[in-house]
Amino acid sequence: HVSNQGRFMIVAGGLPLFVNEEIVGGVGCSSGTPDQDEVVAQAGIDVFLKAKG
């Protein structure tokens, strides 16, 4: 996106993945409403961070 110099994409249902206060990736979902997609994306992040320890 031009407003952020192409560094990331702003889309409903997606969340950044932070590790040690640094963005290392993201999780995006697109099959429900934006609110439902965000809940699913957060669940994916929670599982990743739990597995990472």
Q: Domain coordinates of the chain in residue numbers?
A: 12-52
The string of DSSP codes covering 2-44 is GGGTTS----TTEEEEEETTEEEEEEE--SS-HHHHHHHHHHH
What does the CA dihedral 26, 33, 30, 24 come to, rounded to 10 degrees?
Answer: 0
The answer to whether 18 and 46 are in contact (CB under 8 A) is no
The answer to whether 24 and 45 are in contact (CB under 8 A) is no
Q: How far apart are CA 42 and CA 44, in angstroms?
A: 5
Q: What is the pTM of this model?
A: 0.73
pLDDT 10s digits, 1-53: 567 777 766 668 889 999 999 999 999 898 899 999 999 999 999 999 999 88
